[in-house]
Amino acid sequence: MRSIIYVSVADPLITPDDIADILGTARRNNARDALTGALIFNGHNFMQLLEGPGDKVEACLAAIRDDRRHSGMVEVRRRDIDHREFGDWSMLYEPNFDGHEDSLRRLAANGRLDPVDEQMMANFIALGRRRPTAAVPA
Ligand SMILES: Cc1cc2nc3c(=O)[nH]c(=O)nc-3n(C[C@H](O)[C@H](O)[C@H](O)COP(=O)(O)O)c2cc1C
């Protein structure tokens, strides 16, 4: 089996309906194709871990890469795996990024989350925590 993680830039005009549509499609197709993983959206960027049979992972990635609801897809890691990190569900999406720690705890509770992957996801989520920046002095 293969496991990949990528990040991408969401279309700035993406709507909650778009996100719901992506999730519905992913849940349906991924269950059919024995793909599992996590989709995280931090309001600006997506990070997705996708794992399962190699040919299915590649086919799904190719479809996702062509999707105009995001761009700038960059693969951050790819490996062959013996065990899935996510077993019981196909996708996780956190529209409300107030509960970061809780989200990660639930992610970890769903399977054998690799500590390095967990750290990467935590770092990604932290990037979504925007604080107002101080005005730059003239
Ligand atoms: C960030 C992002 C993640 C996506 N993840 C998945 C996914 O895990 N599985 C999937 O089938 N489609 C996913 N999609 C949707 C695909 O790009 C594409 O619309 C879909 O595979 C088409 O499926 P259909 O031919 O059944 O309509 C994703 C799209 C985006 C923008």
Q: How far is CA 2 from CA 37, 49, 95, 136, in A?
A: 11, 10, 27, 46
Neighbours of 83 (CB within 10 A): 11
Q: Where are the domains of the chain?
A: 2-126
Span 51-108, pLDDT tens digits: 999 999 999 999 999 999 999 999 999 999 998 888 766 666 665 555 456 666 666 6
Band (pLDDT 50/70/90 cuts) for residue 132 is low
Q: Which atom of ligand 1 is nearest to the CA of 39?
A: 3
Residues lining ligand 1, Cβ inside 6 A: 22, 25-26, 29-30, 39, 46, 48, 50, 60, 63-64, 67, 69-70
In single-letter form, the type of residue at position 21 comes to D
| Span 2-126 CATH architecture | 2-Layer Sandwich (3.30)
Span 30-57, pLDDT tens digits: 999 999 988 888 888 999 999 999 999 9
Q: Which atom of ligand 1 is nearest to the CA of 65?
A: 17
Alpha-carbon span 88 to 36, nearest angstrom: 8
